[in-house]
């Protein structure tokens, strides 16, 4: 690993600087995360599949904060067939495109989940994407409230997000909302070699 981006990224608060770090990290991201036993994408893809009927597996999935596409690969491995990705980092999106698992990729230059985009999906994933060092907590309610009735968001909430008051309060506000049904909420490994953990949740909008 040329530079320890896995640690470095958590120290970058400014959104523009963070995007630059992801741009620089893109070329070595897959090797770094694979070496570190990154478990979250597989966990989320299997969790989402577990709450769906077979006929729902062919619905398009919006992979918010898709990065280099490790999350798209995990969705493909779980049997999802139509995967669209969105991310702020052009460098990460270029790597995602090369994997050829996404039907469509969208750049989100402002870092906000465009409600017009999200509202077209019944399935949205955010794998390692809403966390200190990644998208702000506000992206979660923005995604959730843009979902159509019956739509689902499947996401990870790592231990750093759980320890952060703003992130944890925001998650609680969403899960406690009368609009939300938490279909799955499981603790487990996040980046195994770092000893980090994450909650994986599937939340359906009534
Ligand atoms: C830790 S990576 C996870 C990437 C991928 N989902 C995975 O599991 O490998 C976090 C990703 O979120 C993206 N990101 C950060 N802030 C974002 C925002 N506000 N909107 C969309 N993507 C964002 C980063 O560019 C990066 O690709």
State which of 67, 99, 115 you would mutate to test the pocket of ligand 1, scoring each by most atoms of that ligand within 8 A of its C-beta. Answer: 67
Question: pLDDT grade, residue 1 (50/70/90)?
Answer: very low
Q: Report residue 2's pLDDT band, with 50, 70 and 90 as the boundaries.
A: low
Q: Per-residue pLDDT tens for 67-103?
A: 999 999 999 999 999 999 999 999 999 999 999 999 9
**Which domains are delineated in the chain?**
5-205 (3.40.50.150)
Q: What is the per-residue pLDDT across 136-174, written as a single tens digit (0 to 9) for each?
A: 999 999 999 999 999 999 999 999 999 999 999 999 999
Pocket residues for ligand 1 (CB within 6 Å)?
A: 22, 41, 65-67, 70-71, 87-89, 92, 108, 111, 127-129, 134-135, 139
- Number of Cβ within a 10 Å radius of residue 61: 27
Can you give the pLDDT at residue 18?
Answer: 95
CA nearest ligand 1 atom 17, residue: 135
Residue 124 has pLDDT above 50, yes or no: yes
Using CB atoms within 10 Å of the CB of residue 160, give its burial: 0 to 12 exposed, 13 to 18 middle, 19+ buried. middle
Taking residues 96-123, what's their average pLDDT? Answer: 94
Distance CA 37, CA 5 (A): 15
Q: Which residues are CB-neighbours of 17 under 8 A, at least 6 positions away?
A: none
Distance 18 CA to ligand 1 centre (A): 10
Residue 83: both structure tokens together: 């995967």
Q: What percent of the chain has pLDDT over 90?
A: 91
Protein residue whose Cα sits closest to atom 1 of ligand 1: 128
Pairwise CA distance, residues 155 & 186, whole Å: 11
Query: Looking at ligand 1, which residue's alpha carbon is closest to its atom 3?
Result: 128
Residue 112 reports pLDDT greater than 90: no
Structure tokens at 130: 């809403």
Closest alpha carbon to 121 in 205, 195, 9, 41: 205
Q: Which tens digit of pLDDT belongs to each residue from 167-196?
A: 999 999 999 999 999 999 999 999 999 999
């Amino acid at each position: 690993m040329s530079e320890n981006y896995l640690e470095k990224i958590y120290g970058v608060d400014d959104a523009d600087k963070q995007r630059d770090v992801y741009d620089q990290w893109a070329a070595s991201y897959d090797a770094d995360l694979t070496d570190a036993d990154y478990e979250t994408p597989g966990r989320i893809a299997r969790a989402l599949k577990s709450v769906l009927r077979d006929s729902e597996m062919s619905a398009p999935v919006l992979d918010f904060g898709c990065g280099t596409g490790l999350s798209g690969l995990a969705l493909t491995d779980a049997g999802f067939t139509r995967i669209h990705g969105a991310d702020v980092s052009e460098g990460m999106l270029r790597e995602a495109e090369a994997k050829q698992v996404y039907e469509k990729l969208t750049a989100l230059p402002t870092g906000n989940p465009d409600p017009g985009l999200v509202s077209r999906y019944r399935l949205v994933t955010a794998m390692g994407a809403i966390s200190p060092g990644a998208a702000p907590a506000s992206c979660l309610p923005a995604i959730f409230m843009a979902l159509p009735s019956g739509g689902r968001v499947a996401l990870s909430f790592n231990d750093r997000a759980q320890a952060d008051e703003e992130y944890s309060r925001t998650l609680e506000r969403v899960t406690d909302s009368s609009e939300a049904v938490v279909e799955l909420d499981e603790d487990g490994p996040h980046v195994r070699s770092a000893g980090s953990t994450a909650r994986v949740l599937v939340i359906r909008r009534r």
